[in-house]
Amino acid sequence: MADYNAMEMMICSAARELEDGSTVGVGTGAPCAAAMLAQKTGSSNLTIMFEAGGIAPQLPEMPISVGDSRTTWKAVMASGMCEIMETACRGMLDYTFLGGAQIDMYGNLNSTRIGDDHQKPKVRFPGSGGANDFGSFAWRMMVMTPQDAKRFVERVSYITTPGWLEGGDSRAKSGLPLNAGPYKIITNMAVMDFEPESKRMRIISINHGYSEKDVLDNCGFELLKAPRIIETSPPTDEELRILRDEVDPLKLVIGR
């Protein structure tokens, strides 16, 4: 088995979700690395969109911000934030990758504050940026994050980005697009999806080196379980070569 770290595992798992011909809205860091890896390993027609306006670039190397000039290298268009968000609103964004300080069992994300007092929180974070727009309108929202009970909480302190809200059909009733919402949660320990009726998070595969108990113990709420839980396929030698040599040779992301 190839030698790899947790970040490489998450990036390779995420890249496999991005099929050829689809569109994905990404920021920098691990989501960008996953999109680049997908482009180089079978999804050459993947359209990558950056919040600041780059559409379908052929990324020469890892950009350091969503406004980096590399995000428009050989791109179809160098547009702006309004055009990207309007594209999402029109239903033309298949996937997006988001993150936050907290996530709950329905995939709601908090990147605003910790604590009940909005004016004087225990911790204040940067807030939404474009995450609310992407999370509201992209057909499939994915999250890449380390897993621990402080991050995976029963109830987020603040809903910055809507997941399945309170589960069931609550998201659709809110007026958000039908059948659009959280899709996969990719952590250092496992991959989760959402049970179709309740919309609660459930384990579908566990990464090599971890047990079901590890996953459950590092979550602040009760995780559901798929009828058949498998072992997540580890990165292949070829995926690791491309990731290390072509996507992130300076180890800006995989070196974390």
Q: Helix, strand, or coil here: 207?
A: coil
- DSSP label of 233: P
- DSSP label of 243: I
Q: 51 an active-site residue? A: yes
- Residue 241 to residue 134: CA distance in whole angstroms: 31
CB 228 within 8 A of CB 205: no
- Residue 30 to residue 210: CA distance in whole angstroms: 21
Q: CB atoms < 10 A from the CB of 132, how many?
A: 18
Please count the residues of the chain: 256
**Catalytic residue selected from 8, 17, 51, 239:** 51
Residue 81 C-beta-side C-alpha neighbours within 13 Å: 9
Catalytic residues: 51
